[in-house]
Structure 1
């Protein structure tokens, strides 16, 4: 049975579960928001797919464990039929095999129980993220630089573990280190960042790193390989500082949030590599514009119509990375208000890194989310991490 609550010009959401009582509870929660949401419910995967064929939806939220057609299959069908829809998996489980299958079909993996306020916040952020990374200006840059390729299986499996309740890179790294190209390539990049001695066996050296760092290195290696980008060590070293800071800022949050902050921190400026790989005319124009612009992002928007955060985010989204990572990259200079999460942590870490280009920390925003009292602690962390990286590379600020 499929039920509807219908009014024009509202966001359309399809809720899918095999338990009628669960759907009744969700429908009752959304009743207070009927001026903003048009709610449809489907009992089970088969009816959900039928509904997807009949109408368009802005958001699809499906339970994971259902008999027959499960939640990932429902979201895969939604991705094919309605690629612009935001797709969430709702589950009390996070088995690795399910996470591997969900990479791509699911934008977010929500753990039961998920309250309505949190769901609304995350849906709003995902919708805004889709709108921004789909802008024509972003697509034009992507078409010029980033080939339409998917992640290699070994890297896809490694990246999928970012959402796991207990992230473990061991199983995926076994496949990575057996690959004659990927393993040595990742080890070389890690070595250039001072994360492991050059020439170290990839298996042992990479396993000693935080899981989020390993996954980000794999994605960074794939980015260089597929897009033939210049290797800008300064950008990656800055990313390493932001990654280490973001990891410390999120300490105490659930494991997946910490690992996503770690990965997003290293990757947050990857869009700069994409923009600097464009032709000489664009690079010269950007350099000239930068002289009279208040910051790099303003100059980029003047030349390209978008900034490096959105370009990097669009690339990661095209590879099926979770929205928590994608939005942290997209908005690292302008985080969405809400709570301390991967996106907020990467913004704070970037601003605290002393990069010069970073936006100042919004003290009002910190007060709203109740974090202003931790600023002095984070500033001390930033100083420690800066000194550690400078000593590792034998440089000074």
Structure 2
């Protein structure tokens, strides 16, 4: 019996050590809210932790993360690989041609592109669609492959890779030319405008790589798409009728955030108008922290596999992708709070040169975040557009307060026990 106080003291010290281990990270992550701007954070304006993110992703993919994500939604395998490759394309495009990262980016991008032909990647899609396997597969795949080709000198490109890209561009062009609607199908009798936006952007990059042969197809698509916007928001809808292309439902944040990321490659003037509409109708703040709604202001709905769970109407997936879209439009007033808030809430930890977020439990989320963080900043010849602030000056304060409250909660039992002992 006389050993009980000593045992209680040891148990208390162990508990205090655990509390301290939990408190220290909560204190340290406060500094993530004050990281330097992403465009000056590292060589070639690449956030210095992105390569560590990509290193984690490659290891996760090698361990079967694509197959695991496939169990969550049909495009899980494809998306996780293609976004990994696209993030490397953006890294390669940012650094100098003689930077070792450029060669590493080319190798990684082609590795990811080859994985898009794997049976697991194509299994959810139908070869009977036009183009075969649908505009989602061919559009995203061509966007990745054209990006990889753009990193290489013309005399260094492999003939079979060039031939594959040209064949896919021709297939996309022919499918859009044959279609009475601008929105091709991704699954039988199912059309999502976002997938066709990616396909048209890929054709635009084909024009940049080779002779401009798809200008008429792109111009026709733009005219047809502008006639089929959602009348409520003036944006492209989330889903469209596969026969007419008319909206089936309203615009939604999970698809719109991708659309406005790609529109600079399609039509900069129209794209900027669409981005401003999106920003006005979908971007919001929750306790000062900016986020992106899944449904426009004034409209409520439930989360699904596209949006993920909604918190106060905010979609974490749409918010993550909007970081990249904001960077693409030079909208640092939105991009920086989104980036810093993501660093804080995502709890990314660099362990042994690898940096997963949220303990790496959702690699496709890491892939979306890496792709968004590497988005090239506004690159047009004219000055970047100007945008109003969204986040108030005090947007960090609620995050600080929540962290301190959690730390106080962790230590509360020790304060009570000390009173009892007295």
Whose relative contact order is higher, 1 or 2, with alpha carbons under 8 Å and at least 6 apart? Answer: 2
Normalising to structure 2: TM-score of the pair?
Answer: 0.27
Higher Rg: 2
Normalising to structure 1: TM-score of the pair?
Answer: 0.28
Structure (1 or 2) with the greater strand fraction: 1
